[in-house]
Amino acid sequence: MCRTMNVLSLFLGALVMSSLVSCGSSDSDVSRQDKIERLLEGTYELASWNDGADEFSPPDVKGRITFYDGKSVFIMHNSIDLKNLTTLAWMGEYQLVGDTFGYRYTNASTFKTKDGVTTETNQVPWTEFREFTVTEVTDSLLKFEANGGKQVFEIGVDQLIYTDFAPANNVGSGSGFASRVWNRISDKP
């Protein structure tokens, strides 16, 4: 009886240990999801704003973007053209489902000043989730792509870079290329 209990205890111990090892595998979905969230979540400050060959930086254009716990906040002041100032304060949400990242804005305030007259609109830029496919996840790089690679997010430990190779008028100057470089300033909102 005692020998049977010892063998049974050893068997159950081995079974528990093997299940713990497989749960902790670096290839598990939980680990992949943790890597994605660790690299995505945080607050970023705009470092450069490129439209084609034109490159701008603070104080001409400045902003912050935060991704945290399914929520996003985007604030931007664009004074590149002093006759046409723009301030955006957009709040929204994001979701990670399998290998799909999507975000949208659910509340927006856009202020435009032209010739000394300021107008405000509260229309969100789009209502559906803009979806991106997760194409790469490592300990130091997260990459999302949409529209056949025409829109790309590359998020590292220190930076978020958004590149649009076919920007619409609301993203870039229509130059055929737009890039935004954001430096991570915090892992939290």
| Residue 54 lies inside a defined structural domain of this protein | yes
| Residue 15 lies inside a defined structural domain of this protein | no
Q: What is the average pLDDT value for the chain, to the nearest integer? A: 84
For residue 188, pLDDT beyond 80: yes
Secondary structure of the chain as H, E, C letters = CHHHHHHHHHHHHHHHHHHHHHHCCCCCHHHHHHHHHHHHCEEEEEEEEEECCEEECCCCEEEEEEEECCEEEEEEEECCCCCEEEEEEEEEEEEEECCEEEEEEEEEEEEEEECCEEEEECCCCCCCCEEEEEEEECCCEEEEEEHHHCEEEEEECCEEEEEECCCCCCCCCCCCCEEEEEEEEECCC
| Residue 5 lies inside a defined structural domain of this protein | no
| Domain range enclosing 132 | 43-186
For residue 74, pLDDT beyond 50: yes
Please give the pLDDT value at position 176: 66
| Residue 35 lies inside a defined structural domain of this protein | no
| Residue 10 lies inside a defined structural domain of this protein | no
| Residue 14 lies inside a defined structural domain of this protein | no
| Residue 61 lies inside a defined structural domain of this protein | yes
Report the number of distinct structural domains present in the chain.
1
| Residue 80 lies inside a defined structural domain of this protein | yes
